[in-house]
Structure 1
Amino acid sequence: MRSPISGYTRLTKVHKFSAAGIAGAGAAALAFALVPTAGAKGDAQSIGVKEVAWNTSAFGETQQSELTKQSDAAAAQAKTAAEAKKKADDEAKAKADKERAEQQAASRSEERKPVEAAPAAPAPKVYANNLDGWIRQSLDIMAAKGIPGTYNGIYRNIMRESTGNPNAINNWDSNAAAGIPSKGLLQVIDPTFKAYHVDGTSWNIYDPVANITAACNYAAKVYGSMDNVNSAY
């Protein structure tokens, strides 16, 4: 029977239930087809997790490998640098030790070098304690002081004045009368002896060397040399 409004045949109650059942069955079938079963879902999820876990692990291993390589390279560089520094330090120490050893060896060598003895001072000249010795000693002193005179000139005047007696004294001439008698080998008066005394000789007018040297010093100033004296002076 058609509906007066829609023009479609009206469905009976039985038909409605039948249609509802068919629709429900279709929907259920469609839902079953679209939604996987619990087992299938579990498998899919399991497979998906494994794939993600494997991919993450592989990426992590790659990163870890790269980090390990970088760490190993840094360690190798640090080791190389440390070895180079140690080598440089060892070489510097060895060089310093060698230089120190050479300096010590040189120092020891210098210390062991025999010291050259200073030239020995000439032995004091020994003069005979007689007229010859007195004249020769006086001549050496006169040469050092720049006083002229010769052995023969001194000897000649000594023999005339005192005959070689160092203690001779003149008590009878004008000097004696004036209180200043002539004394010694070359008969020198006290004022003359004191005025022409030569440093390094005795101040005793009777000392043979002192008497000769003072008399020759006086004669050099007055006559040019004792060699020029031929009489009382």
Structure 2
Amino acid sequence: MSKHAPSGHSRATLTKAQKFSIAGVATLGAAALAFSIVPGSSQTEATQTEALGAHAAAWSVPAKTQQAVHESVSKQHANADKQAKDAAAKKKAEDEAAAKKKVEDDRKAKETASRAAARKPVYANNLDGWIRQSLDIMKSKGIPGSYEGLHRNIMRESTGNPNAINGWDINAQKGTPSIGLLQVIQPTFSAYHVDGTSTNIYDPVANITAAANYAAHRYGSIDNVNGAY
């Protein structure tokens, strides 16, 4: 009579270690089978190894690269923001400086105009005022002459009448009478007219200044004239 194994124990029970060992062997076998199915040289195997390594690297690098890119972009944004703020601050400062300069320039211009107006002499509308105004113009134009020289010749020629006309001398006979305070004929007045004065021969200041200019060219100065000229 044969002996029977106890019920429920017909196969030996595998330990946990044995299960892991068998699984490992199976895995190795599958790997060996996979490489044995695809024939190739050692170069092919090396290429496959490199491909596997590259594939692994492709999954390991992006995390670091992504972090580096993120940091770089953040830095660029920060720099761009700083540059924009610096540019805006610079422009604001320049605009403020320009505005202040304009205000200061306007203030100085007004002060200069005010001082000029304050310094501008006011001439009386009489013989004394006409002579003094003429002398100031003569001085600015480099025309010689003195108050005494002008007054002396004016009193002799017209007795101070700006509308005086000589209707009898040789000039009048030729159709160009002597006119004004210093009895100037129109051709002479036109030739020696001084810029900045009236073009009207009867204007007292224009008449005096043109006559003094003529006398300066012909006699050196109105001061040297002591008779009809």
TM-score band w.r.t. shorter chain: 0.5 to 0.7
Question: Shift of residue 90 of structure 1?
Answer: 4.1
What amino acid is aligned across from residue 231 of structure 1 in structure 2? G
* 2:135 pairs with 1:165: no
Task: Give, in whole Å, the separation in 2 of the partners of 1:166 and 1:49.
Answer: 142
Alignment-derived partner of residue 181 in structure 1:
177
Alignment-derived partner of residue 89 in structure 1:
76
1:118-146 CA-to-partner distances (Å, cap 9, x unmatched) read: 52443365322111111122122222322
Q: Which 10-residue stretch deviates more, 210-219 or 50-59?
A: 50-59
Alignment-derived partner of residue 212 in structure 1:
208
Alignment-derived partner of residue 23 in structure 1:
none
Q: Which 10-residue stretch deviates more, 166-175 or 152-161?
A: 166-175
Aligned length: 185
Give SS of 1:113's match. Answer: helix
TM-score normalised by structure 2 residue count: 0.64
Give SS of 2:178's match. Answer: coil
What amino acid is aligned across from residue 87 of structure 2 in structure 1? R
Question: Shift of residue 154 of structure 1?
Answer: 0.4
Question: Shift of residue 180 of structure 1?
Answer: 3.3
Alignment-derived partner of residue 126 in structure 2:
130
Note the residue ranges of structure 2 that are not aligned, 5 or more in a row. 1-9, 31-52
Query: Which of residues 140, 149, 161 is equivalent to 2:136?
Result: 140
Tell me: CA distance 1:80–1:175, structure 2 relative to 1, closer, same or farther (3 Å). closer
Query: Which of residues 186, 200, 203 is equivalent to 1:190?
Result: 186
What pairs with 1:92-107 in structure 2 (closer than 5 Å)?
92-107=79-94
What amino acid is aligned across from residue 128 of structure 2 in structure 1? D
What amino acid is aligned across from residue 194 of structure 1 in structure 2? S
Among all aligned residue pairs of Structure 1 and Structure 2, give the percentage whose two residues are the same amino acid.
54
Note the residue ranges of structure 1 that are not aligned, 5 or more in a row. 1-41, 61-65
What pairs with 1:30-41 in structure 2 (closer than 5 Å)?
none
Give SS of 1:232's match. Answer: coil
What amino acid is aligned across from residue 107 of structure 1 in structure 2? E
Query: Which of residues 207, 213, 221 is equivalent to 1:225?
Result: 221
TM-score normalised by structure 1 residue count: 0.63
Task: Give, in whole Å, the separation in 2 of the partners of 1:195 and 1:174.
Answer: 19
Say which one has the larger Rg. 1
Tell me: CA distance 1:137–1:51, structure 2 relative to 1, closer, same or farther (3 Å). same
Alignment-derived partner of residue 22 in structure 2:
52
What pairs with 1:71-90 in structure 2 (closer than 5 Å)?
73-74=60-61, 76-90=63-77
Question: Shift of residue 112 of structure 1?
Answer: 4.1
What amino acid is aligned across from residue 158 of structure 2 in structure 1? S
Q: Which 10-residue stretch deviates more, 205-214 or 136-145?
A: 136-145
